[in-house]
Chain A
Amino acid sequence: MIDENDVRHIAELADVTVTSGELKKFTSQFNTILEYFDTLDCVEGVTNERTDRCNNFREDEVTHSLPQEELLANASEKEEGFFKAPKVM
């Protein structure tokens, strides 16, 4: 069982803010869903082989980059060829 504090912690970890209404709702929904996920507890086996395929490479060849103005075209804030982001602490 997880409680509202756990959900608040998960929200922080996921960098989303949840309202107190959402918090209540999510807590009960997550408990139902996580309980359902517990069906995985009975799964046996240790191998975790993702795929039998491997080694897909490209050669070390230079291809065109996007022109600076195209790269920046979707940005809402830019300055002298840079993207502008909020300050970091």
Chain B
Amino acid sequence: MTKITHFNPEDKFHAFLKTCGDTEYTTGPLNGENIAIKDNISTKGIETTCGSRILTGYIPPYDAHVITLLKKAGAAIVGKTNMDEFGMGTTTENSAFGPTLNPSNPDHVPGGSSGGSAAAVAAGIVPFALGSDTGGSIRCPASFCGITGLKPSYGRVSRYGLIAYANSLEQIGPMAKDVKSVSRLMEIITEYDPRDPTMINKPYHCRCDGELNGISVGVPEEFFGKGVDPSVASVVWNAIKWFEGEGAEIITCRMPSVEYALAAYYVTCTCEASSNLARFDGVRYGPGASLKLSWHDSFSERRTEGFGTEVKRRIMLGTFALSSGYYGKYYAKAQIARENVKNDCMRIFKDVDLIIGPTMPVVAFKLGEISDPLQMYLTDILTVPANLAGLPAISIPCGKVDGLPVGLQIIGKPFEDERVVETAYCYEQGG
């Protein structure tokens, strides 16, 4: 049986690209709760733009797997949230439709790329949101906005319907004010989908009963290295001390591959993106191609007008890295580096259950504060290892610096998403 909820919020932080007004929902465990969806997740009948002009007007004829599951669970899909164009950014300033503001302080960015989802939750407009995380795009805005966001293990949630930016790295994940809500969403969105060949069938069950059970925690020195704001580091250390006080064993360790993890990440994601974004030719969807021009001229015109600067930059970087003569130097090397990151993590996990550190090396920047691309890329240094290694990782609030939230990152072994969530829950309850 269907009911209708009305959704027309005041959106003073520009969290939404579209709100749905009257929304139908059915009975189910989420019974009419509102959920906001990042605009790179396909929603049947609702415009889905990825924050890009090139997809303006695109109305998917199908639902992403996670949307089907949420609808079945009785959620009301109330709106699509703002994001860095195609997920390419750390601030949500790269949206073609203007930036989202941080509800903690509107002069600051909400983080990105799932900045709209984070702001919608942080501002209390919706209790739940879905984001996607390719190199930190759930955890960064969760950290900057002071909410909880989980990047599930690679393969834990179906990507079917997620408009690809970098397929081998990204996952859809839940964002909410508290850990229990994140866990509730995980129970729903992890249902198996044979249409995603990289997914494994492992239903999610987490009790969230607040028991730490004598865990051991690894703290990589590199997570407190160069570029990490000392006041952020000190807030995070306080959180780590709490775990110690609760009987957890804290082991400092080394993760030398962090040195090149970021380069491996940016090579991989730009290569994949350069190929993923080749389909936006204006023939099947999006603003139409000009039939007056020849195919190549029209395609080139479409892309030049449709893509923002950061997207162009990444497409060009990826195109270059894959081009004849450079594949070995960039893509192939990045895959070896990636293997090394994974091996580094697995070596650490022989001695510990979880890896803990800051989510972001800094608190939210001011709008427009960083204009140099590399300087911006470098702020992803602590989130990309979990993507490269396919590990589950959560960001939960652990304090503030200058009135801006700081996120604590907890990274788990592959497919041990439950343990990550359980531990975050313990901290949330007691920390």
| B59 & A33 in contact (Cβ 8 Å cutoff) | no
| B290 & A86 in contact (Cβ 8 Å cutoff) | yes
Q: Is B287 an interface residue (CB 8 A)?
A: yes
Closest approach, in angstroms, between the C-beta of B170 and any C-beta of chain A?
15
Which chain A residues lie closer than 8 Å to B295 at the CB level?
85-89
| B294 & A22 in contact (Cβ 8 Å cutoff) | no
| A45 & B319 in contact (Cβ 8 Å cutoff) | no
Size range of the chain B interface in the assembly:
35 or more
Which chain B residues lie closer than 8 Å to A37 at the CB level?
263, 266-267, 321, 330
Q: Is B291 an interface residue (CB 8 A)?
A: yes
- DSSP majority for the B interface? helix
Size range of the chain A interface in the assembly:
35 or more
Known contacts A16-B316, A26-B313, A47-B336; A40/B267 CB under 8 A: yes
Q: Is B298 an interface residue (CB 8 A)?
A: yes
| B59 & A74 in contact (Cβ 8 Å cutoff) | yes
Which chain B residues lie closer than 8 Å to A40 at the CB level?
260, 263-264, 267, 329-330, 333-334, 337
Q: Is B339 an interface residue (CB 8 A)?
A: yes
Name A residues whose Cβ lies closer than 8 Å to a Cβ of B: 7, 10-11, 13-18, 22, 26, 29-30, 32-33, 36-50, 53, 56, 58, 66, 70-71, 73-77, 83-89
Name B residues whose Cβ lies closer than 8 Å to a Cβ of A: 57-59, 61-62, 168, 194, 197-198, 200, 259-260, 262-264, 266-267, 274, 281-301, 303-304, 307, 309, 312-313, 315-317, 319-321, 323, 329-330, 332-337, 339-340, 372-374, 377
A-B contact pairs, 19 of them (CB 8 A): A10-B319, A14-B316, A15-B296, A22-B312, A30-B320, A33-B377, A37-B330, A38-B263, A40-B334, A40-B337, A43-B260, A45-B339, A45-B340, A46-B336, A66-B61, A74-B59, A74-B61, A84-B283, A89-B295
